Each structure stands twice: as C-alpha cells, then as structure tokens.
Amino acid sequence: MSNIIFEHPLNEKMRTWLRIEFLLNQLNTHCHLDQNNALIFFHALSELLEIIERNDVKSDLMKELESQKQKLTLWLTFNGVDYDLLNSLIHQFDEFLAQFYVTTRLGQPLKEDRFITAIRQRLTIPGGCCSFDLPLFHLWLKIPQERRDIQVRNWLQHLSILEQSLTCYMQLIRQMGEFKPFICSNNFFQETSGDVNLIRIRVSLDKNVYPQVSGHMSRYSIRFLPLDASDNVNSDGIEFELACC
C-alpha cells in the first residue's frame, strides 16, 4: 500500500526552513539549465534570495544548530546511546557553525550578480523574460551546456553551507518524531502536546485525501479533505499516522 507524507510547521521558523528546503530542492532538480527549465531555476533562486533578504536566516539557523548541539551533548551523558553517532553529529554542527562565522552575508554574491539581478527584475512581469526583454538571457541559453553548468555550480556553491547545514538539521528534527497510528473520527482530530515544531502526517494514497491543519506548538487540529471537492470524506474514521517532531 502506497502512502503519502504531509508535513506542517507549527511555528514561523519551521515554516521558513521548509520553504528554504523546498526551494533548494527545486534548484538542485533543475540545475542543468536549458530553455525548458531555466525559468523554473531562476524563479526558485529569486524566491530563495528574497527569503534570505527578508529574514535573518544565518543568525536563526546558527541558533538552531547551537541548540541542537547542546541537546546532543546532553545525550552523551545517557547510557546506551550511540556515542560515535552523537560525536559525529556534534562535529558536523561545529563545522557548520565555523563556516557561518566566516560568512559575512548569506548569498551576497548572488544578490550582487548583474546577470541574476537582471532576470530577477523581470520575473515579476508576466512574460517578462521574453527574448526582446532579456536578450542577454536569450544569448546565455545558447552557449554550450558545459559553460552554463559551470556557472550554475559556482552560483550554488554560495548556498552550499545553507543547504548542508539545513539538510542535517532537518534530518535530525524528522528523526525525533516516531509515527504512531491514530483515527480521525467525525473528520476531526485534536492533539495537545508539548514543544512541537513540526508534525508529519502519513496517510494511504487510496483514501485520496489531504490534511487541513490549524493550531500552534502546544495544540493543533487536523481535518481531512478530498482531492475532488464533490467527494465525501468517510466520517466514520480515517486511519492515519502522526509523528511529532
């Protein structure tokens, strides 16, 4: 039986991390640029830079890494834990923090790149990246693929510390939550919990429903809605699994 996992943030920082993670995945998926996917790449890059510009991503992520590092250090005092794994993670977090300390402004070279800036300025205009609007972009798409790939790799290198540290952090956060079975009766489920940043909902694809989540870190509720609005959700109970991270 195939399942689908939905993730929902319960605070603003986790919402930002999930959005950044999504955009980084978009960049990596479409990093071999051609006329078919170039605008997808630059849309994702522009949105990512906008998030970085509007939020203190570097400082906030450093605080999260430091907080998780302290938790891992505390776990070293417990019996029966994997000391090698914990020490490896602590070492990784130390390396990430050291790299952040020597990084002045996250993604700054990309913000100052004249080619990227020219494209970003046209992305907000419907059809604004036509060849007559951006002849430079039109020409760039005609240069050899190898040259474009090298330039894209150089751009993404400026985001490598963000991607590597966030990937490690999110992997640790997700592993903190264990999936447990629940039943959503009368299409309403409510849970009161402690300090939860992220909930993960796993449900069978056969049910053809998606969750609508509302609430915050200490209390949240879940309803399931059908993909097709004309379908009725089985109010007798929807079985699903929930992980609180």
Radius of gyration for the chain, computed over Cα atoms and rounded to the nearest angstrom: 22
Give the tokens for residue 196: 């939860």
How high is the mean pLDDT in each 10-residue block of the chain (245 residues)?
92 95 96 91 96 92 95 90 91 95 92 95 90 93 94 96 97 94 88 86 92 86 86 75 94
CATH classification for the domain delimited by 12-174, as one of 1.10.246.90, 1.10.3080.10, 3.40.190.80, 1.10.3900.10: 1.10.3900.10
Tell me, what's the pLDDT at 223? 92
Alpha-carbon distance 160 to 193, whole Å? Answer: 35
Domain ranges of the chain: 12-174, 177-244
User: What pLDDT digit, counting tens, does each position of 177-189 carry?
Assistant: 999 999 988 888 9
The class of domain 177-244 in CATH terms is mainly beta
In the numeric block, which tokens belong to residue 6? 């939905």
3-class SS of residue 204 = strand
If you write DSSP's letter for every residue of 134-173 in order, what string do you get? -HHHHHHTTS-HHHHHHHHHHHHHTTHHHHHHHHHHHHHH
Q: What is the pLDDT of residue 236?
A: 65
